[in-house]
């Protein structure tokens, strides 16, 4: 099943046969504790249409610590060259942020359990990087998809442990559910609402690839928070087991699509509520239009959002 997901995931369809076999070989191995210094790399973007700077010891001073910093973290079987990663970076650099893409591709190209266990080590590495760069915690916003969301949580925990300060914000884009569900009541072992001043979560594939319960200061369950999401239905031909898995994984990745529209000015048509039962019974607040910049420490709870059925999915 792992191999089928790899074949049909975004940006991986163009791999040739030998590359696919190599990828299949990579994800068939459980690899624990084998982490090298160059397994986690950092790329700095500061202006549109300019090449990134690979941050090493001699370039870490190129980061302007007076700017707010957006740190983007991919998930399993991915890398920082994913199309969505580039699109998100483009949106952020328009607004004069430091944008740092984290690339942990080698560790992500492993059996899922290996990558899941490694999230803590990767998060600690990112946390130490933030400390070494002397970034101000209240100007740091971590954004992670799937396993990357939990990596963001561990990075923030590292900062809090070292300085006593919380980073400003974590955005978890459909945080991974497999492996982390067993830590539902152990917040130290996963992303949690206490990790940052604001922890906003976009749920799109709960119960499958994504986590299905609230873990943030603000949890947005989009179209029920489960598959299938709009954009993953319609002209979809089920010809194989691979098609079925692609269909499910599509909803997991829609969290990224929604987030990119969100930071681009779109708004969630959202109803704040403390449970699905209260939503059905009508015991909830009125619908609100929530923009990405509206999210703050005072906006807390569970939000049930509806989108359009095609792009643009969010309201303007």
For the chain, what percent of residues have pLDDT higher than 70? 84
Domain housing 111: 2-306
> Nearest CA to 102 among 129, 68, 136?
129
Residue 311 lies in a domain: no
Residue 182 lies in a domain: yes
249 vs 73 pLDDT, higher one: 73
Mean pLDDT, range 177-186, rounded to an integer: 93
pLDDT at residue 70, rounded to an integer: 99
Residue 118 lies in a domain: yes
> Nearest CA to 32 among 147, 113, 135?
113
**Is residue 174 annotated as part of the catalytic site, yes or no?**
yes
**Is residue 146 annotated as part of the catalytic site, yes or no?**
yes
pLDDT at residue 286, rounded to an integer: 77
Q: pLDDT tens digit string along 14-44?
A: 445 455 445 555 555 555 556 888 999 999 9
Q: pLDDT tens digit string along 256-280?
A: 999 999 999 999 999 988 776 777 7
pTM of the model: 0.89
- Catalytic residue chosen out of the listed positions 103, 118, 174, 192: 174
Q: Residue 316: pLDDT band by 50, 70, 90 thresholds? A: confident
pLDDT at residue 285, rounded to an integer: 77
With contact defined as beta carbons under 8 Å apart, do 247 and 5 qualify? Answer: no
Residue 154 lies in a domain: yes
| Euclidean distance between CA atoms 46 and 93, whole angstroms | 6
- On the question of pLDDT at 5 being above 60, the answer is no
pLDDT at residue 269, rounded to an integer: 93
Q: At what angle do helices 241-263 and 83-93 cross, to 10 degrees?
A: 0
- At 162, is the secondary structure helix, strand, or coil? helix
Residue 145 lies in a domain: yes
Residue 282 lies in a domain: yes
Total count of domains within the chain? 1
**Average predicted confidence (pLDDT) for the chain:** 87
Instruction: Determine the distance from the C-alpha atom of residue 31 to the mean position of all C-alpha atoms in its chain, rounded to a whole number.
Output: 23
- Catalytic residue chosen out of the listed positions 146, 171, 251, 255: 146
pLDDT at residue 245, rounded to an integer: 56
| DSSP designation for 194 | G
133: CATH: 3.40.50.1820
- On the question of pLDDT at 186 being above 50, the answer is yes
Residue 122 lies in a domain: yes
With contact defined as beta carbons under 8 Å apart, do 93 and 99 qualify? Answer: yes
Q: pLDDT tens digit string along 56-66?
A: 988 999 999 99
Mean pLDDT, range 157-171, rounded to an integer: 99
- On the question of pLDDT at 240 being above 90, the answer is no
Bridge partner list, 271: 287, 304
**Is residue 203 annotated as part of the catalytic site, yes or no?**
no
């Amino acid at each position: 099943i792992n191999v089928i997901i790899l074949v049909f995931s975004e940006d991986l369809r163009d791999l040739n046969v030998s590359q696919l076999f190599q990828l299949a070989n990579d994800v068939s191995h459980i690899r624990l504790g084998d982490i090298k210094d160059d397994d986690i790399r950092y790329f700095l973007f500061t202006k549109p249409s300019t090449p990134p700077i690979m941050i090493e010891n001699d370039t870490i001073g190129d980061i302007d610590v007076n700017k707010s910093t957006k740190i983007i973290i991919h998930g399993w079987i991915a890398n920082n060259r994913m199309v969505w990663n580039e699109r998100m970076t483009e949106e952020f650099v328009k607004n004069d942020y430091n944008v740092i893409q984290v690339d942990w591709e080698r560790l992500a190209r492993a059996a899922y359990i290996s990558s899941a266990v490694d999230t803590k080590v990767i998060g600690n590495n990112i946390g130490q990087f933030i400390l070494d760069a002397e970034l101000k915690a209240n100007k740091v916003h971590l954004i992670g998809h799937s396993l990357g969301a939990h990596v963001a949580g561990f990075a923030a925990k590292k900062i809090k442990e070292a300085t006593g300060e919380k980073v400003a914000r974590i955005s978890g884009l459909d945080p991974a559910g497999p492996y982390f569900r067993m830590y539902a009541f152990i917040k130290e072992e996963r992303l949690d609402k206490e990790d940052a001043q604001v922890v906003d979560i976009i749920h799109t594939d709960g119960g499958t690839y994504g986590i299905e319960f609230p873990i943030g200061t603000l949890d947005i369950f989009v179209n029920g928070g489960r598959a299938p999401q709009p954009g993953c239905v319609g002209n979809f031909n089920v010809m194989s087991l691979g098609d079925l898995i692609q269909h499910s994984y599509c909803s997991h990745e829609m969290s990224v699509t929604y987030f990119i529209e969100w930071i681009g000015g779109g708004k969630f048509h959202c109803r704040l509520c403390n449970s699905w039962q209260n939503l059905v019974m009508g015991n909830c607040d009125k619908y609100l239009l929530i923009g990405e910049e509206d999210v703050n420490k005072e906006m807390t709870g569970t939000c049930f959002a509806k989108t359009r059925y095609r792009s643009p999915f969010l309201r303007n």
